[in-house]
Amino acid sequence: MKVIFAAKKITMLATCVWALMMCAQAQSDDVVRINSDLVNIFFSTLDRNDKFSTVLAESDIALYEDNVRQKLFTFQKQSDRLLSIAILIDLSASQRHKFTEQKKAALSFVNSVVSKHRDRVALISFGADPFLEQRLTTNINEIAESLERIKILTPVGYQGRGTILPVGARPATGSLTYTTAIWDAIWVTCKSIMSELEPETRRVILIITDGEDTSSRANLEDAINGAIQADTVVFAIGIGDPAVSSGVNKSALKKLSSETGGRWYFPRTDDDLNDSFKRIETELRSQYVVAYEPQQTESSGLYRRIRIEITNPSLKRSKLRLFYRKSYYFNHLNSGL
């Protein structure tokens, strides 16, 4: 009888342990589910002197999704979250006269902004097709070597060791000897690289181009939507050569950056170019991040508009300007591009 009783106790104990494990697993699943629904918004502020500011507190702002105010789950200044940057370099003829300076400035930027053995950088060059010159890496030397290999040959052409990132079945359109598919490069970078990253990662594309797309299969709206779906901010440095094309398509680059929460720069001199990279570096170091769990359900629609307002009266009078992405796709990280 003692043996039977002991066996029953062991069975009951095992059942309790199993129940506790299942409960813990259910709680763990709930945590994962809740975290996967969090929306992360990175934003920056500029004061009236065009300087980046970090004076805001959580109580100073209100965030709205489709005009419904949201409760903030996270508010951080000068976020130290992991940073993944894809640098996209235009190889068209309009870039030849500034190409060496572009590569030097890009390398200086990488050395300044990237925390060694922590943040990651990828390098993509593009003409008619995007070439992955260097996958995301924490090794700055690998980026330096990849930058050194890229050349624009005279009169036009490409030299490098990149592998083509497939955009689609159709070849690039256009009738030029060497075409420029800007929107393809952004779209495929978001699809192939940025959408695969951890949800908490800050994702940034820094593109150097004249904004004159001549051959993409995608269009500007496709590029913007791809960046929004991949939670990627796009910074644009517009450089062109009026002797080769119409110069710089400022309106396209402004729209690309503003819709994704980034900024745009149009340097004229080498000093301006270096300053543009330094401004982007400063902004990345001055970003805030807020996170919230949307009150609306999936039935509210997949495409959501975001608005952040300053509620502090004194800060309102200081005319601070906010820069952030204006929309996102609900459950986009799970659905893919």
Residues of the chain with pLDDT > 90: what percent? 53
d(CA 50, CA 75): 23
Same domain, 196 and 305: no
Q: What is the residue-wise DSSP string for 234-276? A: EEEEE---TTTSSS--HHHHHHHHHHHT--EE---SHHHHHHH
Q: Is 230 helix (H, G, I), strand (E, B) or coil?
A: coil
To the nearest 10 degrees (0 to 180), the angle between helices 99-113 and 140-149 is 170
pLDDT for res 91 = 87
Write down the pLDDT at residue 164.
82
Tokens encoding 127: 């003409």
Instruction: Tell me what pLDDT residue 81 has.
Output: 83
H-type helices in 96-163, by residue range? Answer: 99-113, 140-149
Nearest in space to 50 (alpha carbons), one of 309, 324, 320, 326: 320
Question: What is the per-residue pLDDT across 54-104, written as a single tens digit (0 to 9) for each?
Answer: 999 999 999 999 999 999 999 998 767 889 999 999 988 778 778 889 999
Q: For residues 238 and 301, state if they share a domain.
A: no
- Quickly tell me which residue has 């010159």 as its tokens: 133
Residue 9 in any domain: the answer is no
What are the pLDDT digits (tens) for 1-16? Answer: 444 444 444 444 444 4
Residue 208 has pLDDT above 80, yes or no: yes
pLDDT value of position 100? 87
pLDDT confidence of residue 330: 80
Regarding whether 317 and 175 lie in a shared domain, the answer is no
Residue with tokens 């005009």: 67
Query: Is residue 64, in this structure, part of any structural domain at all?
Result: yes
32 pLDDT band, cuts 50/70/90, is very low
Tens of pLDDT, residue by residue over 216-259, are 989 999 999 999 999 999 999 999 876 666 689 999 999 999 99
Residue 300: per-residue pLDDT: 63
pLDDT grade for 37, boundaries at 50, 70 and 90: confident
pLDDT tens digits along 147-176: 998 887 655 556 667 788 877 655 555 444
C-alpha 220/C-alpha 209 separation (Å) is 14
Contact 280, 263 (CB under 8 A): yes
Give yes or no: residues 249 and 297 share one domain.
no
A 10 A CB-CB count for 69 gives 13
Which single residue is written with the structure tokens 């950056």? 257
Residue partners of 162: CB distance under 8 A and separation at least 6: 124, 125, 131, 132, 133, 150
In the prediction, which pLDDT does 298 show? 60
**Residue 7 is assigned to a structural domain of this protein:** no
Domain annotation covers residue 43: yes
Give the Cα separation of 234 and 204 in Å (integer).
Answer: 6
Domain co-membership, 122 together with 264: yes
> Is residue 179 domain-resident?
yes
Domain extent, residue 161, equals 83-285
Residue 326 DSSP symbol: -
User: Is a pLDDT exceeding 80 seen at residue 28?
Assistant: no
Q: Does one domain contain both 154 and 269?
A: yes
| Closest alpha carbon to 335 in 183, 230, 251 | 230
CA distance 284 to 288: 9
- Judgement on whether residues 201 and 143 belong to the same structural domain of the protein: yes
327 in a structural domain:
yes
Residue range 115-125: average pLDDT? 87
What's the pLDDT tens digit per position in 267-280? 989 899 999 999 99
Last residue of a domain, one of 266, 285, 304: 285
Note whether 243 and 296 are same-domain residues.
no
CATH number (domain holding residue 193): 3.40.50.410
Q: What is the number of structural domains in the chain? A: 2
Residue 45 makes CB contacts below 8 A (sequence gap 6+) with 52, 53, 54, 55, 56, 286, 288, 320, 321, 322, 323
**Mean pLDDT taken over the chain:** 81
Q: Are residues 172 and 242 in the same domain?
A: yes
22 lies in some domain: no
Do 269 and 212 fall within a single domain?
yes
In a domain, residue 112? The reply is: yes
Which band of pLDDT confidence, cut at 50, 70 and 90, is reported for residue 337? very low
Burial (Cβ within 10 Å: 0-12, 13-18, ≥19) of residue 191: middle
Q: Are residues 125 and 155 in the same domain?
A: yes
Same domain assignment for residues 266 and 251: yes
